[in-house]
Structure formats: structure tokens, C-alpha cells
Amino acid sequence: MLKPLFGDGRIRQVAEALYGRAVEQARDPEFYRSCGVPDTVDGRFDMIAIHVFLLLRRLKRAGDTPGPLAQALFDTMFDDMDRLLREMGAGDLGVGRRVKNMAQAFSGRIAAYESGLDGADGILEAAVLRNVFRGGGAPHEAAAALARYIRHQTATLGRQPLEEIAAGRVAFTDAAVGLNGEPPQQV
């Protein structure tokens, strides 16, 4: 089903489109205003990480076929992190180490969010509190709202045709809707 997409050299272009949508959604002011996500480099990284995680999870659930796209999406994210660190003035020697640390942190978040989505109630909220809010400073309600959002988007992405996602077209629902726990609308 996806072979024509992957065979024509467009995989990087599709990964960049998906990453662009993830970043756009992660920048929604609702996360920072009403949910209390820190509007810092770390907070923004965490929101991008959540959205890329959601896309990677959707691709993973489709089986092995989208594996190259998932890898290209991961690579696109960390190429962007490298570029951003350099723009922020990080020296060449430190960028590689910092990107490696970010990739390890992202891998840990993937494992925590996967366990949270697949596990008992409260696990995802604890993962959000630990990662996004660094274990404190935020009320449990903020972590619970963000966990509801993650569940909401998981359901929304799960209903989107893989062909659309593999073409670089993904539709996240409005952040306020997901944070408030409203049922996902039909796609």
C-alpha cells in the first residue's frame, strides 16, 4: 500500500510535512496558557516530543510497512533539534552530545507514554507529570488534562487513513477539545 510512496524518494519530504504539523500543533498556546506547560525550551521540546510520539505510535500500529517513514520522522525531528541548538549558539562540540541526550530523553518518553496508554489508569498521568512538568510545580489536574489530550489524539489519529498520514497529511484535533476530554469527532 505504501510502496509507491517509499519507492519514489519522497519519504523525507513526507516526514518533514508530518514533523511540521507536529510542531505546529505543539505550539498551540492552549497548552501553555490553560494547561500550564512551561513555555521554555524544555517545555516546547516536550510538546513536540508528544506529538511526534503520537505520529510514531500511529505508524507503528500499522505494522512494518511504514517503518522507513517512522525512521525518517525521527531523523527529521533530531536534525531540527541540531539546527535549533546551533541557532541558539551552542558550540559545534556540544551540539552532538546535547542532541544525543535529547534523543535518549525522547526514547524514554516514548516508553513511558506507551506504557501509560497501554497500562492502568494513572500511569500516563504520572509519565506526563514526570516528563513535561519535571515531577512537580504543576497540579495533578494539568497532567491529567494533558494525558486526556494524548488519549484523545491517539484515538483521532487511529481513525485517520494510513494513506493520508503516509502522504504527509495529518489532522490533529483542537488542543482545547482534547484537553477538556471531549470525545474525538469522526474523521
Looking up cell 513536540 gives 48
Rounded distance, CA 145 to CA 149, Å? 6
**What distances in angstroms separate CA 65 from CA 7, 18, 108, one per listed residue?**
12, 17, 24
Rounded distance, CA 3 to CA 89, Å? 40
Neighbours of 21 (CB within 10 A): 18
Q: What is the pTM of this model?
A: 0.89
Nearest by Cα to 23 from 64, 61, 51: 51
Cα-Cα end-to-end distance for the chain? 20
Quick check: 26 and 123 in contact, CB under 8 A?
A: no
Rounded distance, CA 33 to CA 77, Å? 25
The pLDDT value recorded for residue 93 is: 67
Helical spans, DSSP H, in 62-122: 67-87, 92-118
pLDDT per position in the chain (187 positions), as tens? 444 445 546 899 999 999 999 999 999 999 999 889 999 889 999 999 999 999 999 999 887 677 899 999 999 999 998 888 878 776 666 788 888 889 999 999 999 999 999 988 789 999 999 999 987 666 788 999 999 999 999 999 999 999 999 999 999 999 988 888 765 554 3
